[in-house]
Amino acid sequence: MLSRGQLWPERRSAILRPANLMQHIHGITFTDEHLIPIWERVRAGERLSPADGLTMFESHDLSALGGMADYVARAKNGERVHFVINVHINPTNICVLNCKFCDYVHSRNDDGAWEMTPQEILAHITPEMHEVHIVGGHHPDWPFEYHENYIRAIRDAHPDIQIKAFTAAEIDYFAKRWKLSVDEILDRLVAAGLNSMPGGGAEIFSARVARELRYTGKAQAARWLEIHAKAHARGIPSNATMLYGHIETYAERVEHLRLLREQQDASGGFLAFIPLEYQVSTEKLVARHASALEDLKTIAVSRLMLDNFPHVKAYWIMLQEDTAAIALNFGADDIDGTIAKERIAHAADARSPGGVTRKRLVRLIRDAGKTPVERDALYNDVKVYGEEDVVAVMEERYRPVQRSRESPRAGRPLDKFAAR
Ligand code: SF4
């Protein structure tokens, strides 16, 4: 395996690049003059090129990157920062694959392997939740009907909750394992009650990294994108992720963003982009976690490159709360949710707590100077928190908004989600 110095050669050019005198251009102070033409293009509403993306990743000028990204985030979402009252459910950690970065995977006979019944899955859902997020391992012999049945059980028990389930990697596995078409799988899941799809399983769209990190057995870039396109065509919105901070290069990050942007142009159903910081645990692909500076830069560059994604998320589980809160001024307009129970990042010793309260999220958002907006899985407003609401939450006398009986379902046209 290459050393990090070889893998991120771009960084050396950033270190060697001389810092110019500060320049103040339209409200932003630059110490890296290479960013100034990019700022002009951002202000003109022009699309940034992959070369621009690389220039931004190479730059040391974090404050200017954050200012540019915040400008774009404000143009799209104003002062609003979204969160959701949700739960993450991981029905099984048994998986036929063995991706090198994964500390979650178990074989059936391992200590710590689990398989949840539909009843156990249902037990995690409470009336206050607006979203249930479900992802898991590629179980060797749970038939597709098993997954279909627990989605239906949730829908029957909670007609008004939004179900966000199964990454494109899982859908691809169901198709290969049970010899079903992706079209049939998606149609059956929608009939069972699916509302949207999460964005996991994308990792980094790079054949080199896939080989080195042993994830060639899961949906690769073209297939991952194809499955999201099919979902979008059915009115199933989805998210997209990028796993960074391991052995990928800046150029590979830029290519990943470019492919997502092209797909969004074509199918228009991505709601949010979520950069996922690699969690260092037993595999130790690198010696330590990406720094907070690297996290903030990645959020900012993602916001600037993905001009057609409505939302960029600071996923506090992986960033930790403090960095996620700062990211709300570096282009992120979403901090995910209460999450209640998270087992994938925490299998890799994520340093964040397993879940947080509404009070904590509202506090983080207000401390960042933004307006808390509670949302559902499809980014419909549940509640915009005014000053009175914030005070009520802090004093623990806030009364949650009940789920709507008219919760939107998959199958609608996705026009409202496509945003430039
Ligand atoms: S990342 Fe997902 S597909 Fe890969 S080994 Fe872990 S659970 Fe399995």
Q: What is the pLDDT along the chain (420 residues), one digit of tens a residue?
A: 444 434 444 444 445 555 557 999 999 999 999 999 999 999 999 999 999 999 999 999 999 999 999 999 999 999 999 999 999 999 999 999 999 999 889 999 999 999 999 999 999 999 889 999 999 999 999 999 999 999 999 999 999 999 999 999 999 999 999 999 999 999 999 999 999 999 999 999 999 999 999 999 999 999 999 999 999 999 999 999 999 999 999 999 999 999 999 999 999 999 999 999 998 877 788 888 899 999 999 999 999 999 999 999 999 888 989 999 999 999 999 998 888 766 666 666 666 666 688 899 999 999 999 999 999 999 999 999 999 999 999 998 998 888 865 555 555 555 544 443
52, part of any domain:
yes
407/198 Cα distance (integer angstroms): 18
**Ligand 1 binding pocket, CB closer than 6 Å:** 95, 97-99, 102, 104-105, 137-138, 169, 218
Residue of 90, 97, 223 best suited for mutating to test ligand 1, as the one with most atoms within 8 Å of CB: 97
Q: Which residues constitute the domain of residue 46?
A: 19-77
Triad 165, 171, 176: Cα angle to 5°: 155
Q: Tell me: do 60 and 106 sit in the same domain.
A: no
Q: Tell me: do 226 and 280 sit in the same domain.
A: yes
Residue of 104, 135, 171, 223 best suited for mutating to test ligand 1, as the one with most atoms within 8 Å of CB: 104
Q: Tell me: do 55 and 100 sit in the same domain.
A: no
13, part of any domain:
no
- Chosen domain end from 58, 77, 96: 77
147/91 Cα distance (integer angstroms): 9
Q: Tell me: do 26 and 126 sit in the same domain.
A: no
Half-sphere exposure of 311 (CA within 13 A, CB side): 28
pLDDT for 7 equals 46
7, part of any domain:
no
Residue of 101, 106, 138 best suited for mutating to test ligand 1, as the one with most atoms within 8 Å of CB: 138
User: Strand 80-84 relative to strand 371-375: parallel, antiparallel, unpaired?
Assistant: parallel
9, part of any domain:
no
CA of 353 to the centre of ligand 1 (A): 22
Q: Tell me: do 24 and 173 sit in the same domain.
A: no
pTM for the structure as a whole: 0.91
pLDDT for 418 equals 45
CA of 278 to the centre of ligand 1 (A): 14
Closest C-alpha to ligand 1, atom 7: 137
Report the side by side order of strands in the sheet with 311-312: 238-244, 270-277, 311-312
pLDDT for 12 equals 45
Max CA separation in the chain (angstroms) = 63
CA of 317 to the centre of ligand 1 (A): 18
Q: Tell me: do 328 and 343 sit in the same domain.
A: yes
How many residues are present in the chain? 420
Query: For the chain, how many structural domains are there in total?
Result: 2
Give the CA distances from residue 274 to residues 77, 85, 93, 305, 314, in Å, rounded to whole numbers and listed in that order: 16, 18, 22, 13, 7
pLDDT for 345 equals 67
CA of 105 to the centre of ligand 1 (A): 6
Q: Tell me: do 213 and 152 sit in the same domain.
A: yes
CA-nearest of 281, 278, 302 to 290 is 278
Q: Tell me: do 111 and 29 sit in the same domain.
A: no
121, part of any domain:
yes
User: Strand 381-384 relative to strand 162-165: parallel, antiparallel, unpaired?
Assistant: unpaired
pLDDT for 20 equals 54
- What CATH number has the domain bearing residue 171? 3.20.20.70
pLDDT for 18 equals 54
Closest C-alpha to ligand 1, atom 4: 99
Taking residue 58's Cβ as centre, other Cβ atoms within 10 Å add up to 20
Q: Tell me: do 167 and 226 sit in the same domain.
A: yes
2, part of any domain:
no
CA of 290 to the centre of ligand 1 (A): 21
CA of 303 to the centre of ligand 1 (A): 27
CA of 95 to the centre of ligand 1 (A): 6
CA of 249 to the centre of ligand 1 (A): 22
Beta bridge partners of 312: 273
Triad 341, 346, 349: Cα angle to 5°: 155
143, part of any domain:
yes
Q: Which atom from ligand 1 is nearest to the alpha carbon of 137? A: 7
Q: Tell me: do 368 and 230 sit in the same domain.
A: yes
Triad 275, 278, 284: Cα angle to 5°: 170
Q: Tell me: do 376 and 393 sit in the same domain.
A: yes
Residue of 105, 241, 285 best suited for mutating to test ligand 1, as the one with most atoms within 8 Å of CB: 105
CA of 94 to the centre of ligand 1 (A): 9
Alpha helices in 281-336 (DSSP H): 292-305, 316-319, 321-327
Q: Tell me: do 262 and 378 sit in the same domain.
A: yes
Q: Which atom from ligand 1 is nearest to the alpha carbon of 96? A: 8
